[in-house]
């Protein structure tokens, strides 16, 4: 299974089967050390260690601080790590901007996949990065996709928008000489990574274009309580 498909399966796993809490989930309470630790007290603030310029803002419970980070990264993102984008997605969800949270979650996964197509993620310097992204996908993904699939059409809009953003805004860190690289030309390997996220998105689009598949997803969500958990207003 390629990385794009693997991350999608990890993130979506809780959607199709299994019981979920009936109470609405309004915060993403996860721990992916050393990058993110949700507060133990709902009134507290998380511990964030992803980007020195954004850590304090991302740890804030003020919506305007999280929006500021979102808007700044939208404009200036060449060296923003996928972990930073994952934490941004979590904090957007926490302050009630759930559509934006889904968009940045998908963008974070796609940025990581393009990174992994160029950089040697098995190297000592980078192996912890892949572990962190898998943990973010496994822990935050079910909540973010749980909300995203309240509306399949909107989910697909966010999925395509995130992919286009990643293609238009390549992660420049993958070209730094100090970053261990996979064999081959880095630009050519990036093209392979872009092809991978495009193929994964297209496979997902085709699957969700089948009304029977969408009906099956909706039936399972009714059975496992996903709508009551994630589709609150």
Q: CA–CA separation, 66 vs 89, rounded Å? A: 10
Of residues 45, 233, 39, the one with CA closest to residue 150: 233
Residue whose token pair is 């092809």: 195
Q: Is residue 142 within 8 Å of 13, Cβ to Cβ?
A: yes
Name every residue whose Cβ is closer than 8 Å to that of residue 206 and which is 6 or more positions away in sequence.
none
CB under 8 Å to 207, separation ≥6 — which residues? 213
Phi, psi of 174 (to 5 degrees): -65, -15
* CA pair distance 5, 73, nearest whole angstrom: 26
Cis peptide before 109 (omega within 30 of 0): no
From first CA to last CA, the distance across the chain in angstroms is 36
Q: What is the longest distance spanned by two Cα atoms in the chain?
A: 51
Give pLDDT tens digits along the chain (233 positions).
455 554 554 445 444 434 455 689 999 999 999 999 999 988 899 999 999 999 999 999 999 999 999 999 999 999 999 999 999 999 999 999 999 999 999 999 999 999 999 999 999 989 899 999 999 999 999 999 999 999 999 999 999 999 999 999 999 999 999 999 999 999 999 999 999 999 999 999 999 999 999 999 999 998 888 999 999 88
């Amino acid at each position: 299974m390629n990385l794009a498909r693997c991350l999608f399966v990890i993130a979506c796993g809780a959607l199709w089967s299994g019981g979920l809490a009936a109470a609405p989930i309004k915060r993403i309470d996860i721990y992916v050390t050393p990058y993110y630790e949700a507060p133990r007290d709902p009134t507290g603030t998380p511990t964030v260690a992803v980007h020195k310029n954004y850590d304090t803002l991302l740890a804030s419970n003020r919506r305007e601080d999280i929006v500021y980070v979102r808007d700044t990264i939208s404009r200036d993102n060449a060296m923003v790590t996928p972990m930073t984008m994952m934490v941004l997605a979590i904090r957007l969800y926490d302050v009630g901007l759930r559509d934006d949270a889904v968009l940045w979650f998908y963008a974070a996964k796609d940025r990581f996949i393009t990174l992994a197509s160029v950089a040697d993620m098995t190297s000592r310097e980078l192996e912890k990065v892949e572990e962190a992204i898998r943990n973010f996908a496994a822990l935050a993904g079910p909540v973010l996709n749980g909300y995203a699939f309240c509306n399949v059409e909107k989910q697909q809009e966010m999925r395509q928008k995130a992919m286009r953003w990643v293609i238009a805004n390549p992660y420049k860190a993958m070209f730094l000489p100090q970053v261990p690289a996979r064999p081959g030309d880095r630009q050519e390997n990036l093209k392979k990574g872009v092809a991978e996220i495009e193929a994964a998105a297209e496979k997902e689009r085709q699957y969700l274009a089948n009304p029977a598949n969408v009906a099956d997803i909706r039936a399972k969500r009714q059975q496992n309580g996903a709508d009551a958990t994630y589709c609150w207003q």
